[in-house]
Amino acid sequence: MLLTMDLKTSFILWVCVCSTGFAHNYGSDCVHDIPHEITFVQSRENCTLNHMTWTRLKKMQDLFSNYGLDAYIVTTQDAHHQQGGSPHDRRLEAISGFDGTIGAAVITRNKTVIWTDGRNVDAAMRMDCGWQIYRKGAKGIPSLTSWVKAELQNISRPIIGACPSLMAAVWWKNFKLSFAKNNITMLEIEDDLVDQVWEDNRPPQINVTINALPLEFAGRSWQDKMTDVHHEMAKAGVDILVVSDLDENPWLFNMRAFAFGFDPFFYSFAVIERRTRITRLYIIDHKSMLSRKPSDHEVHVTLERHLDIGEGRCSVRVTEPGYVESPDSAEECVQNPVVKVGEYNMKDVVRDITRVASLPHTRKVWLSPYCSYAVYSAVPTDKIYQDITPISILKSTKNPVEIQGMEDANLLDSVAAIRFFARLEKEVKQGKNWTVYDAFHEIHNYRKQIPHFRAPAFRTLTGSGPTAAPIYNMPTPEDSQPITREHMFMQDSGGQYLNTGTTDMTRSFHFGNPTKVEKDIYTRVLMAHINLAELVWPEGRTGHDIDATAREPLWELGLDYSHETGHGIGAYGGVIEGPGRISSTFADFISDVPFYASIFTEDENINKFPDPTEYPLRKNMFFTVEPGYYEMDNIGVRMENVMYITPAHVNQLSSRCKFLRFETITLVPYESHLIDYNMLSHTHLDWLNEYNSRVLQKTAPILERFGDTDALAWLMKRVENVTREPLH
Ligand SMILES: *[C@@H]1O[C@H](CO)[C@@H](O)[C@H](O)[C@H]1NC(C)=O
Ligand SMILES: *[C@@H]1O[C@H](CO)[C@@H](O)[C@H](O)[C@H]1NC(C)=O
Ligand SMILES: *[C@@H]1O[C@H](CO)[C@@H](O)[C@H](O)[C@H]1NC(C)=O
Ligand SMILES: *[C@@H]1O[C@H](CO)[C@@H](O)[C@H](O)[C@H]1NC(C)=O
Ligand SMILES: *[C@@H]1O[C@H](CO)[C@@H](O)[C@H](O)[C@H]1NC(C)=O
Ligand SMILES: *[C@@H]1O[C@H](CO)[C@@H](O)[C@H](O)[C@H]1NC(C)=O
Ligand SMILES: *[C@@H]1O[C@H](CO)[C@@H](O)[C@H](O)[C@H]1NC(C)=O
């Protein structure tokens, strides 16, 4: 549950988008889809003190004197700049009971304070007594750095510690600069203080089996991908590349595992040496992992075989203690990239980076913008080359096999959705009691009938009427809203498929008689959706450049939505993937940048992550397009398809410029009786007719194969060609 929420929510731009004086009566004086009031929770009634977490905290504070510390920073981030995906990494929870997704805490000898955001206020209320809680955005709350400065002002030469492997280098440098102004020293505590005191009941590191991804689905062997990476490194004049982002090694090595959350990833690091063609890969329980029987029934080789270690063309050779490696002496192995697999362990990783970075012939070391300070500080400053990694770019521009896999998976996933929506509508109309919670589960029972389906791509978001308004609606059995004929229904869900498919789709429906306002809003969102789906733009433009095209039909009425328009999507990979983003405001995709930025005051936020909205949209990248509209306690509408970028054949006066466009691969019809066709332009109608005929042509034969006549009838009703005048 937690990871998906993090990923999906990391995109919300928590800004109130207000406008005044719009003509239509869609609500109050402002577009609100988030509550406005701000809480600053200073003390809590009825808080409890958990003896276990409190004891750990006290032990931690006792350790301060060993290091001369006056304060210590603990956050929800792990060694890969993601918000604690695994229970083993929930350090803040281990000392405070905070089970939320994002938080940064400061512990002094006698005070404990946490900064969190609006989505995590409930989790903060469950924390142990004694914690002071600051909510991001609340008026008058101090930034983390200014609080620390005030708190330590009477101490001479104060020292604040943090673990360098658990903090992004970007944040670390900002903290260091800010604290230095007040003579506060940032001290690196390599062995995190929470790790030192978390002896009892610590969940073990995750140990699920990692499976090879068959070449027929990956489309390119890991050796070929590695050669591509070496090539990009050579172009940039780089000798070493450190892979620290969790979505990169699964793509590079054609390996997948559901080790935490929903994305098919596992914990790993890699250090790629271009000259020797040797790559060190660090995974958990590496010795047993290499020889384990695959846990995916469609995978037939061990990792050892897949990585060409032990067996294969070359005989085994072990030259360095602790590493199992494929030999690089045999002739054919010299020509091929070689991988040495070692244990996932920060100390070993940092030791190896330090060693290869210090070699005299190493000129530059390529680091991810998101790497931890531990990785960053292992490389001499003059050798650091920090930029979006070549893996991130190669991964997001899909190969022909991945494109086919995405098309196949999104088509079959659309069929599953059509079958589910057809049944839901029928049963709701028959008076059967459906709740959003039922709907949230049931859609996956249809996905399970599709070959290669592996798992939900994220925690399904489902809402009905007012409960669709909070954008990230995750129903629980207790608070589940019934699905009725009076309210609109919205569902945002997706799946992961072994044949390199990841899907992410949202549809809104009304199973009764919609009001004029509901139709107006639905139609406006559809127009927003089509505006992007049919847009043609010159190569080189960014997600930031095209975002307004989607919002224009809503802006025209003084309306807007406070989330991004679309995000990159992986191929049996991350449901949210960089480096691009369709949005007009910067929100980071791995972590919650706006949140972390808020723990610094304005002028301290000097080192920044690259802005994904400024990254050019490239051919063969996949994106979601998901405009919406939300009004607190009233309505929530969103429409989301997966699309990929392809060359556009436009009538060019100047043939020098290449143009691009989207190709839509999600094929689920829209709700025809929610569309006011008179509001659509001729080009909107043409697009819709073309889409409908494609939906029909591609999904109907599969529905026939399933023998699902109800779903076929449901489909037919929605894909009739439409004209400007409403159908009679
Ligand atoms: C705290 O507990 C008391 C007694 O059970 C109750 O009356 C009060 O409403 C509770 N306060 C909160 C904020 O829950
Ligand atoms: C809390 O610690 C600070 C710094 O160590 C010290 O100045 C202050 O007197 C302490 N306050 C209490 C109430 O112990
Ligand atoms: C620092 O000292 C001043 C003057 O004695 C006092 O007013 C202030 O409360 C102290 N601050 C802290 C955080 O202890
Ligand atoms: C920091 O220390 C230097 C040297 O001891 C001193 O001159 C300066 O005033 C100090 N700055 C602050 C903000 O305390
Ligand atoms: C991990 O799981 C495998 C098989 O499921 C087991 O053989 C191995 O001992 C486990 N390793 C650890 C460190 O728990
Ligand atoms: C649906 O729920 C209502 C209210 O809880 C109940 O009265 C009704 O009998 C239920 N209908 C069906 C078909 O289960
Ligand atoms: C529906 O419209 C599309 C696109 O305008 C056209 O290609 C198709 O032939 C039409 N189908 C029917 C049944 O009229």
What b/e readout covers 95-117, taking b as 16+ CB neighbours within 10 angstroms?
Answer: bbbbbbbbbbbbbbeeebbbbbb
pLDDT at 326: 54
pLDDT at 655: 66
Which is it for strands 278-283 and 324-325: parallel, antiparallel or unpaired?
Answer: unpaired
45 Cβ below 6 A of ligand 1:
yes
Q: Which ligand is nearest to the CA of 159?
A: 2
pLDDT band at 18 (very low <50, low <70, confident <90, very high): very low
227 Cβ below 6 A of ligand 4:
no
Q: Give yes or no for residue 379 having a pLDDT over 80.
A: yes
Return mean pLDDT, the chain: 87
Q: Give yes or no for residue 198 having a pLDDT over 50.
A: yes
Phi/psi for 717 (5° steps) reads -60, -25
347, 367, 396 - which closes a domain: 396
Q: How far apart are CA 52 and CA 604, in angstroms?
A: 36
Query: Any idea what the CATH number is for the domain that residue 233 is in?
Result: 3.40.350.10
Structural domain count of the chain: 3
pLDDT at 250: 98
Residues 612 and 646 placed together within one structural domain of the fold: yes
Query: Any idea what the CATH number is for the domain that residue 619 is in?
Result: 3.90.230.10
* DSSP tally for the chain: helices H, then strands E: 23, 31
Ligand 3 atom at minimal distance to the Cα of residue 150: 13
pLDDT per position as a tens digit, 71-107: 999 999 999 988 867 899 999 999 999 998 889 999 9
Q: Report the range of poorest mean pLDDT among 183-192, 296-305, 463-472.
A: 463-472
Distance from Cα 126 to the centre of ligand 1, integer Å: 14
Q: Give yes or no for residue 657 having a pLDDT over 90.
A: no
Which protein residues are within 6 Å of ligand 7, measured from CB? 686, 689-690, 693, 721
- Are the C-beta atoms of residues 373 and 169 closer than 8 Å to each other? yes
Residues 438 and 519 placed together within one structural domain of the fold: yes
User: Which of residues 390 and 33 earns the better pLDDT score?
Assistant: 390
Mutation pick for ligand 1 pocket among 45, 47, 48, 129 (CB with most ligand atoms within 8 Å): 45
Residues 383 and 406 placed together within one structural domain of the fold: no
Three-state secondary structure of 529-596: HHHHHCCEEECCCEHHHHHHHHHHHHHCCCCCCCCCCEEECCCCCCCCEEEEEECCCCCCCCCCHHHH
pLDDT per position as a tens digit, 314-361: 444 444 555 555 544 444 444 678 899 999 999 999 999 999 999 999
Distance from Cα 490 to the centre of ligand 7, integer Å: 28
Residues 152 and 240 placed together within one structural domain of the fold: no
Nearest-CA residue for ligand 1 atom 11 is 45
- If DSSP codes are grouped into helix, strand and coil, which group holds residue 132? strand
Distance from Cα 562 to the centre of ligand 1, integer Å: 35
Q: For residue 81, what are the CA distances in angstroms to 71, 166, 246, 518?
A: 22, 7, 9, 41
Residue 203 within any structural domain of the chain: no
Residues 478 and 367 placed together within one structural domain of the fold: no
Residue 207 within any structural domain of the chain: no
Mutation pick for ligand 2 pocket among 109, 113, 152 (CB with most ligand atoms within 8 Å): 109
Q: Residue 89 carries which DSSP code?
A: G
**Mean pLDDT on 613-641:** 93
Q: Which two tokens stand for residue 178?
A: 């800010």
Q: Give yes or no for residue 295 having a pLDDT over 80.
A: yes
Half-sphere exposure of 512 (CA within 13 A, CB side): 14
Residues 36 and 86 placed together within one structural domain of the fold: yes
pLDDT at 36: 35
Residues 408 and 389 placed together within one structural domain of the fold: no
Q: How far apart are CA 414 and CA 686, in angstroms?
A: 21
Task: Using the structure block, give the residue that is written with the tokens 């390529």.
Answer: 366
Residues 247 and 342 placed together within one structural domain of the fold: yes
651 Cβ below 6 A of ligand 2:
no
- Are the C-beta atoms of residues 490 and 465 closer than 8 Å to each other? no
State percent of the chain over pLDDT 70. Answer: 86
Distance from Cα 687 to the centre of ligand 7, integer Å: 10
pLDDT band at 596 (very low <50, low <70, confident <90, very high): confident
Phi/psi for 678 (5° steps) reads -70, -20
- Are the C-beta atoms of residues 498 and 412 closer than 8 Å to each other? no
pLDDT at 311: 37
DSSP per-residue codes, 490-518: EEEE-EEETTTEE--EEEEEESS---HHH
Closest residue by Cα to residue 679 from 528, 556, 520:
520
pLDDT per position as a tens digit, 432-464: 999 988 988 899 999 999 999 999 999 888 888
pLDDT band at 468 (very low <50, low <70, confident <90, very high): confident
- If DSSP codes are grouped into helix, strand and coil, which group holds residue 641? strand
Which protein residues are within 6 Å of ligand 3, measured from CB? 151, 153-154
Q: Residue 312 carries which DSSP code?
A: T
Residues 389 and 404 placed together within one structural domain of the fold: no
Task: Using the structure block, give the residue that is written with the tokens 């020509």.
Answer: 335
Q: How far apart are CA 525 and CA 628, in angstroms?
A: 6
Nearest-CA residue for ligand 2 atom 10 is 110
Q: Which domain holds residue 235?
A: 220-396
pLDDT at 465: 79
pLDDT at 651: 72
Q: Which two tokens stand for residue 623?
A: 């994106």
User: Which of residues 659 and 440 earns the better pLDDT score?
Assistant: 659
**Mean pLDDT on 526-532:** 98
Half-sphere exposure of 334 (CA within 13 A, CB side): 3
Q: How far apart are CA 153 and CA 531, in angstroms?
A: 55
Residues 343 and 455 placed together within one structural domain of the fold: no
Residue 313 within any structural domain of the chain: yes
- Are the C-beta atoms of residues 73 and 167 closer than 8 Å to each other? yes
Q: How far apart are CA 601 and CA 604, in angstroms?
A: 6
Mutation pick for ligand 1 pocket among 46, 47, 48, 121 (CB with most ligand atoms within 8 Å): 46
Residue 520 within any structural domain of the chain: yes
Residue 574 within any structural domain of the chain: yes
For residue 309, the one-letter residue type is I
170 burial (CB, 10 Å; 0-12 / 13-18 / 19+) is buried
Residues 423 and 537 placed together within one structural domain of the fold: yes
What b/e readout covers 263-289, taking b as 16+ CB neighbours within 10 angstroms?
Answer: bbbbbbbbbbbbeebbbbbbbbbbeeb
pLDDT band at 413 (very low <50, low <70, confident <90, very high): very high
Residues 384 and 415 placed together within one structural domain of the fold: no
DSSP per-residue codes, 240-288: EEEE-STTHHHHHTTEE---SSSSS---EEEEEETTT-EEEEEETTHHH
- If DSSP codes are grouped into helix, strand and coil, which group holds residue 453? strand
pLDDT band at 592 (very low <50, low <70, confident <90, very high): low
Nearest-CA residue for ligand 5 atom 13 is 285
Supply the angle between the helices 682-706 and 709-718 in degrees, to the nearest 10. 170
pLDDT at 473: 67
Closest residue by Cα to residue 148 from 103, 119, 109:
109
Mutation pick for ligand 3 pocket among 149, 154, 155 (CB with most ligand atoms within 8 Å): 154
Residue 723 within any structural domain of the chain: no
User: Which of residues 693 and 12 earns the better pLDDT score?
Assistant: 693
pLDDT at 513: 95
Residue 204 within any structural domain of the chain: no
pLDDT per position as a tens digit, 668-726: 999 999 999 999 999 999 999 999 999 999 999 999 999 999 999 999 999 987 765 54
Residue 212 within any structural domain of the chain: no
Distance from Cα 276 to the centre of ligand 4, integer Å: 49
396, 415, 446 - which closes a domain: 396
**Mean pLDDT on 368-376:** 97
Q: How far apart are CA 430 and CA 427, in angstroms?
A: 5
373, 396, 419 - which closes a domain: 396
